[in-house]
Each structure stands twice: as C-alpha cells, then as structure tokens.
Chains A and B, each alone.
Chain A
Amino acid sequence: MSMGEVELSCLAYAKMYLHASQFPRCSVNGLLLSSSAAGGAVCITDCVPLLHTHLSLAPITQLALTQVDVWCSQTQQRIVGYYQANACASDSSPTPCALKIAEKIFEQCNNAVLLMIDGEKMFPGCRVPPIVMYERKDARWALKDKHTIMLRQWEETCSIVNQLFSSGDQALLVDFDSHLDDITKDWTNQKLNAKIMELVSPANGNV
C-alpha cells in the first residue's frame, strides 16, 4: 500500500454499520483506530462508537476522546479518524461538529480521515460501500479519491454484517453514550469484537 491509501478493516466497517443501524433516527459518531505504525498508508483496524445524542455538546465528547486516548495508549492503537452518520439519511455531508472533531484528530495525526456514512446506500443488496471519505488537503477537508480506499474482501464483509443481524448479535454493540447510561456495558466491545473475528475467515489474517 502506498501513501494516500486508506484501508478499512472488516471489524471497523461492521461496527460502524451496526452503530448507524442501531440508532436509525439519530446522528451517530465514533472514532477510527489503527494498530499499525504511523507513516505510509492508513490502516483502519478498529473503531469506537461514541455518541447517538447531542453530538455537538462538548463535555461528553471531550470525555470520550480522553478515555479513548487513554485506552489506545494502553492497547498500542492510535486514533486516525472520525466517522459520522447523519440522522437525515439523504444528507451525508460533514456537519460543523464533524469538521471540528476531525480537525482535532488531524492535529495529532497528519493523515487523519473523516468518514461520513451514506444512509441512502444502507440497504440490503447495495453493491457499493455506503461511505464517503475526506482527507486534509490545502487546509480543508476534500473528498478522497474512491480508488485510494481499500475495503478488502467486500463481499465477505457484507456477509459477516448480515450474519450479525440474523444471529441478533448486532444488539451487542455498545457505544459510549450507552455505556454512560449503564457503566457495566463495555464501550470497547470486547465481546462483539470476538464474535466478528470468529466470523472473519481464518485464511484472511488481515481483514
């Protein structure tokens, strides 16, 4: 992989998709993480679903960013991006809040990405990934060339997401908001992560 390319793992994609599906009437957001070393291409290996209420209010966002930061340093991961799905499915453009948080992440990670989920493409049988990516270019967030976004084993990823829905495991997803409602719930989603990795075929170690 070369500079400017972004790879999105099955795990990250599945959890983002599940997050947006769990709260169809709300805007949701989360952070994109990488367990790879900095430099070169961006490999998004995991994500942390954050909020489904009051995305633009500061305290909980700040709290979540701090906690994820701490967790990342404990687990050798880095925050490399931000995702958001707007409540209004027909409008997938980044909101001021999305740009603000992405900007903050860019301060620490110079190839940070901003990912918007396109609600209109989230239907069963859709042949294209429902995502739009932005990168920092010339002091603004510009649309990323689709050809630099890699989603390895797209068909398999779709099938894994479908399996999660049919087994009811999609309900396992916990976002930071839900964690605050009940702190016995794990926002790092260890249980769900394990289920997803089980479904990922062992031959493709890097999905």
Chain B
Amino acid sequence: MSSISELYDVTWEEMRDKLRKWREENFRNSEQIVDVGEELINEHASKLGDDIWIIYEQVMIAALDCSRDDLAWSCLQELKRQFPDSHRVKRLAGMRLEALERYEDANKLYDSILQDDPTNTAARKRKISILRAQGKSSEAIRELNEYLEQFVGDQEAWHELSELYINEHDYAKAAFCLEELMMTNPHNHLYCEQYGEVKYTQGGLENLELARKYFAQALKLNNRNMRALFGLYMSASHVAASPKVSAKVKKDNVKYAAWAASQISRAYQMAGRGKKENKCSVKAVEEMLESMQITMS
C-alpha cells in the first residue's frame, strides 16, 4: 500500500502543516487525520520536535473516532510516559474508555480529575458527553445548565445546549441559547440562520416575522447562505399569505419573497451551468417557486 506522501506527493512538513490547520480549525476529518498522522508518527517522529506531543493527542482522538484502538493506545502510552501526572492525558484516557463504552470507568477517571481540580472544565464536559451518549438527554441538559451558570462564556457549551433543546423539541429554550450566542458572536451568520429556523418552527405570525428578520440578517452577514435565503422566501411567503396582516405588511412581504425567489433562481442558474446532473435540482426549484407563488396570490 502506498504511503500518503507518495499518493499525494507531499513532504512531511506539508503533512505536519495540514495537521496543524485541521487542529486550529477544529475539523473532525478523523480518517484523514489518522492516515496523515499515523504516517507522520511512524516515519518522521524524530523531525517533529515538541510538536509530536500535540500530534499524538490529535491522532489519538481521531483514532478513537475510527475505532483504531491500537493506534489510540500507542499514542496514549507515549503521552503517559512523557506527562505522567497530567490531567490532560488522564482526560484522553477517559475518552478512550468512552470509545470502548466503559462509561462507569470513564466517569471514575473524570471524577478523580475533578477531585484534584474542581475547575477542570474538560472533565465536566466529558461527563456531560457521556450522558448524551447514553441517551440521557434530560440529565445532560440539567448538567449543562449547571455548568453554564458557572462558565457563562463557554460558547461551545451554549451551542451544545441549543442542540440538545432542539432535539427535545424545546424550541423556546433553544432560542434562548441561540440569543446568547448571537449576542457574543454578532457576525456569525449561522447562529442568525439557526435562530430563524427555530422561530419558524415555533410558528405563529409573530414568530414567522421574527424568523424572516433573522434570515435577512444572516443574509446580510453572508449572502451565500442558501438556508437563510430559502428561509426568507418561505417565512415572507407565509406572512404574506396570512389573513391577519394589513395590506401594507402583505405587500412588503410579497416583495421580500419575490426578491428571495429571484436570488434563489439566480443561484441555481449559476450552479446548474454546464453540469448536466444539476438539471434535476434546478428544475425542481423552479417548479417549486412557481407553485408556491400560486398559493400566495
């Protein structure tokens, strides 16, 4: 089997830099990380200097994701040898136990970390992840809420909580979490768009108008967000079709919907250019826009 460096004609430095990029952007492309990282470790360990330890950690986590316990174990051993009393390494050992579904043992490990250091957020979050993996959503939600009372700035935790609430169909609470996220990340178009989706799902005229506003905001931040564009189209269409709105509101929303429809058409025309296989999706969208126009007028 040829190596990564042969297959892709890359040097070990390029492989090391790729790993760093994936680390910094928090990508979870575990199979790629395992392929590149394993080769780097096996063939070029001596050249990596102190980088090797963070690479062991990154590869170990990716290996757990790919059920490569052999690789995860050997990475863990190297880290244990180098950092014998480290909580960070202990947490990795716990993650391995989680991957093996030995949740009780993993919890014991995390509890021992927390006994030593009650402020260790990583261990607390792992315990919450275990609850999630076991399907104990209400407990995970409760623990996460308690965690956020202490660590109110933890974006990752707010987002995780919003996902949990969405799964439980508790849209009001999901909206609250997204509001926190939008406040601290006002330029993030994804949070605006997700908020729009939650409001749309809650339904009712007021929520639909709110949804429309947030889809519009998402588009202002990123005019290529297709979900926001479709969301704007659908929410404006529904508001315009509502018998409860004034003539002016109806007129405005018809305008917004028409604008969104033209943007959607344009985007699909551009996407469909030259690609035969996209003709199906382009046609489907065109017909859909047409049919929805009919029900609106």
Q: Which residues of A approach B to under 8 Å, CB–CB? A: 54, 56-60, 62-63, 66-68, 70-71, 74, 88, 90-91, 96-97, 179-181, 183-184, 186-188, 190-191
Given the complex, which residues of A lie within 8 Å of B201, measured CB to CB?
Answer: 56-59
Check B133–A88 contact: CB distance below 8 A: yes
CB of B285 closer than 8 Å to a CB of A? yes
The CA-CA distance from A85 to B281 in the complex, in Å, is 25
A63 to B169, CA, bound (A): 19
Cα distance A63–B291 in the bound complex, in angstroms: 13
Kindly provide the distance from the CB of A197 to the nearest chain B CB, expressed in whole angstroms. 15
B197 near A67 with CB under 8 A, answer no
Question: Is B285 within 8 A of A54, CB to CB?
Answer: no
Which of B38-46, B151-159, B254-262, B270-278 is the contact stretch? B270-278
Q: CB-CB < 8 A to A63: which residues of B?
A: 230, 234
Contact status A74-B284, CB under 8 Å: yes
Identify the B interface with A (CB < 8 A). Answer: 133, 135, 166-167, 169, 194, 196-198, 200-201, 203, 211, 226-227, 230-231, 234-235, 267-268, 271, 275, 277-278, 280-281, 283-285, 287-288, 291-292
CA distance A88 to B267 in the complex (A): 36
* B166 engages A54 (CB within 8 Å): yes
Shortest CB–CB separation between residue B30 and chain A, in angstroms?
Answer: 10
Bound-complex Cα distance A62 to B292 (A): 12
- Chain B residues with CB under 8 A of A59: 196-197, 200-201, 211, 227, 230-231, 234-235
**Which chain B residues lie closer than 8 Å to A68 at the CB level?**
284
State the Cβ distance, B47 to closest chain A Cβ, in Å.
30
Instruction: Beyond A60-B227, A67-B285, A70-B288, list 5 extra A-B contacts (CB 8 Å).
Output: A57-B197, A59-B196, A60-B197, A67-B288, A71-B280
Query: Given A66-B288, A88-B135, A183-B226, are A56 and B281 neighbors across the interface (CB < 8 Å)?
Result: no
The complex places the Cα of A91 from the Cα of B133 at a distance, in Å, of: 11
> Hey, which chain B residues are within 8 Å of A187, CB to CB?
281
Contact A186 B291 (CB under 8 A): no
With contacts A59-B234, A63-B230, A63-B234 taken as known, whether A179 is within 8 angstroms of B200 at the C-beta atoms is no
- Decide if B197 touches A58 in the complex (CB within 8 Å): yes
Taking the closest CB of chain B, its distance from the CB of A126, in whole angstroms, is 15
Min CB distance B196 to A, Å, is 8
Q: Which residues of B contact A188 (CB under 8 A)?
A: 277, 280-281
Q: Nearest Cβ in chain A — how far from B266, in angstroms?
A: 11
Known: A70-B284, A71-B284, A88-B135. A183 touches B271 (CB 8 A): yes
Q: Which residue of B lies closest to A88 (CB)?
A: B135
The 8 Å CB contact of B278, one of A62, A67, A70, A184, is: A184
**Identity of the chain B residue whose Cβ is nearest the Cβ of A180 in the assembled complex:** B226
| B288 adjacent to A186 (CB under 8 Å) | no
- Inter-chain contact A56/B166, CB cutoff 8 Å: yes
